[in-house]
Structure 1
């Protein structure tokens, strides 16, 4: 089974036409809209998939439509099967 220790994982999302549309808008307003869209999208995914208070999202990644969250291995496995998720990878420390 998994571990109950929270570690940092990166979650990358599948192709999203709305993300692509917003990312193409290079204006300040477009960048702000993209930030808000992704933050809300990522927060909603976590809230609908994991138990409230059991995780901590640390950031949304605008350039790749992904986010980082402190979660357990079990939670990472749950996210791997969530709709719209492409890849979930544990952060690897470089030597």
Structure 2
């Protein structure tokens, strides 16, 4: 990534009918399927938009169809421009 510092951002996705369908299944199997679906979906988005080994995905957030990722400001701008992305927000540390 050169000398650009990375920061933690939260990325929230646009409406996804498959996510909504999987979210309705409250069973253990349904939760596992939702987690696997979101992790794969988020990983694919990052792999498509950003260079390998230039970011660090922290986790997927099933309750909101989003994920946290350590990226540069420039990479955050790339994520913001993706049609699948609703919002990219920098983590705000509370003192």
TM interval, short-chain normalised: over 0.9
TM-score (norm 2): 0.96
For 1:42 and 1:51, locate their aligned partners in 2 and report how far apart those are by CA, in whole Å. 14
What is the 5 A alignment of 1:17-36? 17-36=17-36
Gaps of 5+ in 1: none
For 1:82 and 1:5, locate their aligned partners in 2 and report how far apart those are by CA, in whole Å. 22
Question: Which 4+ runs in 1 deviate beyond 6 A?
Answer: none
1:74 aligns to what?
A: 74
Instruction: State the 1:26 CA deviation.
Output: 0.5
| SS, match of residue 52 in structure 1 | coil
| SS, match of residue 15 in structure 2 | coil
For 2:27 and 2:93, locate their aligned partners in 1 and report how far apart those are by CA, in whole Å. 35
| SS, match of residue 54 in structure 1 | coil
1:87 aligns to what?
A: 87
Indicate the RMSD between aligned Cα atoms, in angstroms: 0.9
Instruction: State the 1:72 CA deviation.
Output: 0.3
TM-score (norm 1): 0.96
